[in-house]
Structure 1
Amino acid sequence: MYTQCPECLTVYKLEAELLVPACGCVRCGHCEGVFNALGTLAAQLPPEPFTRLPERALDQEPPLADVAVFRPRPVPRLPDDVSGEPTHDEAPAEDFSQLTFTPKFAKTRRRSWQSAIWVTVCLTLMLGLGAQLAWAKRDSLIADPTIGPALQAGCSVVGCRLPLVAEPTRLRLLARDVEQHPAVRDGLLITASVRNDASFAQPYPVVTIVLSDANGQRLAMRRFEPADYVGDPGVRARGLDGGATTAMVFEVQDPGQRAVAFAFSFD
């Protein structure tokens, strides 16, 4: 807002708070004259050139304030007491009987228990996820030369067995022989000595035997499942331990005098 000194015509910019202490009167900072700033009070300056701000009469009827934004709620009066004196309104006393005070150490203990439970849940979920990943990659972990022996040692302590991992390329044929079957006519008895060069146990393989003639032509072929040459189910379930050697015996039909060679393969 703006106002003008009537003596020296100096225009001042002021805030409404400055008009409150002296009911609108201010002192001119130039001529030190005291004047009522409400007489020339304006929200904006008129367009230049101007010499005086418009003056307003201050002896008119007060304007009506009709836009209310707040009105205090009326306080009910209590009836007079028996002595005829009006009773004074007293604020109702606050009731603290139902309040519960929790000691600071109890709050700290509660937060610590909540944190411990949260940490336990997170660790359990992480262990579960790790176990799922380990189970999905169990063949690679067991076959690993570093992790596999550690897992085997751990299982030996707790009394468990690792799952069998098939790795036929690590089975080595040490010796083989073929002879006439002692009890079956036109039968052959083939024996083989096989060693598991892996550091972990393997399931007994599927053995394929091919008989051929002198020209390398295939005369006969047969695939032997583990149950065909390992009769004990418990031995089949345990598999062939790492570094162990086993003897395999196979019975086949003699394809005739032309069969002069045979070959083994493991699947």
Structure 2
Amino acid sequence: MYRQALFTLIALILAIGLISGCSSNSNTDKKVIEDLQNQLSDRDSEIESLNAKISGLQSEMTAMTNELDEVKNGPQNDLIAIRNSYEKKQYLEVIAKAKKIHEKYNGTPEDKEAQKLAASSTQILSKLDAERKAEADRKKAEAAKSAREKARGILRVSKVYPGEPNSADGVNLYVHWTNKSDKTIKYIYFEVVPYNAVGDIVSSDIGGGSTFRGMHTGPTKPGVSFGSQYYWENAWYNNTITQVQLRKVDITYMDESTITLSGDDITHIQY
């Protein structure tokens, strides 16, 4: 209102000056106009300052209102949020929110209920973790059982052992095995490593190698077995060999299909 009135007054003064055409009054009119403009500028500054103060007061009022609401309704609002998370089965959120309400409102009824919900959430999560672990263990056991049964449906190795060193320190290799598959074996290779009495891998004095790869040529029909009457003569030359370990088996069938047994398979087929 004040600003509008000043503008109206300035306009009237200008209009009067134009109508009268009196040059003697022009300087006076200009001075009046300048004074009015200065007043207008001062009032604008005052208005801006008042608006800034009003904005600050409004912010303070909003903050105070929020603080008051927090004091009056904060615990209840937080508890409602925790209840909602619990109903949605968001148990990790329940635990996190319960921790915050305990820090802010320790000992209040809302805090006590929140801690009960957090404890219940912890128990549920522990139960779920146990169920997941049990399921994972069950699947792992089933997979291992399946792998064992699969391997045992291919081959059985009942014994693997070295013979006594002969006069030239030659050591024979004995492998007792059975074709457990429903296919006829064309070639089978047994990869074996020798050890001494203290459990160290040893090498052959002739040739220098440790791993021996014994080959058997078929045809070996399903169900056929080989025992102590069949062996590889002088697989190594080393009189310290006391035991051997089967590492791998490669099989080629008469239909030219192949299969390799290694790792856990070797454990499975030795029984």
Question: Do both share a fold (TM > 0.5)?
Answer: no
Q: Which has the higher helix share?
A: 2
TM-score for both structures, normalised by structure 2? 0.29
| Structure showing greater Rg | 1
Q: Which has the higher contact order (CA 8 A, sep 6+)?
A: 2
